[in-house]
Structure 1
Amino acid sequence: MEKGLTYTSKTTVCKENTALTVGSGDMEVFATPALVALLENAAMNAVKPYLPEGSTTVGAMIQTSHIKPSGLGEEISATAVLEEVEGRKLTFKVSASDSKGIIGEGIHIRYIVDRERFLSKL
């Protein structure tokens, strides 16, 4: 796994991913939990093609800002760039933007895990 792997995930702000609907606020703007999920999705997909058979990644930590609101109909792009690889630990720089610019950014850590072994802990 090499530094610099990147992926961009996109979504459009709709009623289902607003703060009002998900319960994180009371306005029809892109919800912070939806932003976090989109950032995690970008990180997961950045490394997915390079994982060993039977492996996946799981999110362990995300530290992010959500600095600007995005309204209904706005397209959101979230990009993750692999910054550091330490064994199974992967550290990503993440950022998200809409048509007006950056709406959030931060750091996300994921770990490579064996799917079966991970699920056996349930």
Structure 2
Amino acid sequence: MPRSGATTGWRCCPHRRSSATPNSCAPRSLAPHLDEGEMSVGVTATLHHKAAVPVGAKAVYTVAAEEVDRKTRFTFTVWDEAGAVVCEGTHLRAAVDVERFLASLKAARNDG
């Protein structure tokens, strides 16, 4: 049994594309709700693939925030041109202080 599209000659969009659009929408949609000096960071993401979408085919995404707070969970669904759900998942983001976050990154680099 073939293990990838590369072995069958059939090309489809990789799963990272299915999550890229929702994950790029999330920070932009949270920005107006953040305090001065804050940013949002991704905490977790789930992705459930149900079907492949051929390269060049159109996909429709819906992304919704369940509640905007210090941690905000987004849900997303992706449909193919025929209206079938091809992917769905969640993305959790947290509001953090930018300076504190950058300091923790610097400290982590110095420990390693």
TM-score normalised by structure 2 residue count: 0.71
Structure 2 counterpart of 1:15: none
Alignment-mate amino acid for residue 47 of structure 1: L
Q: Does 1:63 align with 2:49?
A: no
Secondary structure in 2 matching 1:48: helix
Q: Which has the higher strand share?
A: 1
Deviations 1:33-52 (A, max 9, x none): 22122221122222223222
Q: 1:48 aligns with which of 31, 34, 54?
A: 31
Q: Which has the higher helix share?
A: 2
Secondary structure in 1 matching 2:104: coil
Corresponding residue pairs, total? 97
Alignment-mate amino acid for residue 55 of structure 1: E
Displacement of 1:76 in angstroms is 2.9
Q: 2:62 aligns with which of 50, 70, 79?
A: 79
Runs of 4+ in 1 over 3 A off after TM superposition: none
Displacement of 1:114 in angstroms is 2.0
Identical-pair percentage: 31
Alignment-mate amino acid for residue 99 of structure 2: E
Structure 2 counterpart of 1:110: 93
| Bigger-Rg structure (1/2) | 2
Aligned in 2, Cα 1:42/1:79: closer, same or farther, shift over 3 Å? farther
Q: Which runs of 5+ in 1 are unaligned?
A: 1-24
Q: Which runs of 5+ in 2 are unaligned?
A: 106-112
Alignment-mate amino acid for residue 46 of structure 1: S
Cα distance in structure 2, aligned partners of 1:98 and 1:112: 32
Q: CA-atom RMSD, angstroms?
A: 2.0
Structure 2 counterpart of 1:96: 78
Aligned in 2, Cα 1:96/1:46: closer, same or farther, shift over 3 Å? farther
Cα distance in structure 2, aligned partners of 1:56 and 1:77: 27
Deviations 1:61-95 (A, max 9, x none): 1122111111121233332211134x511111211
Cα distance in structure 2, aligned partners of 1:97 and 1:114: 36
Displacement of 1:96 in angstroms is 1.6
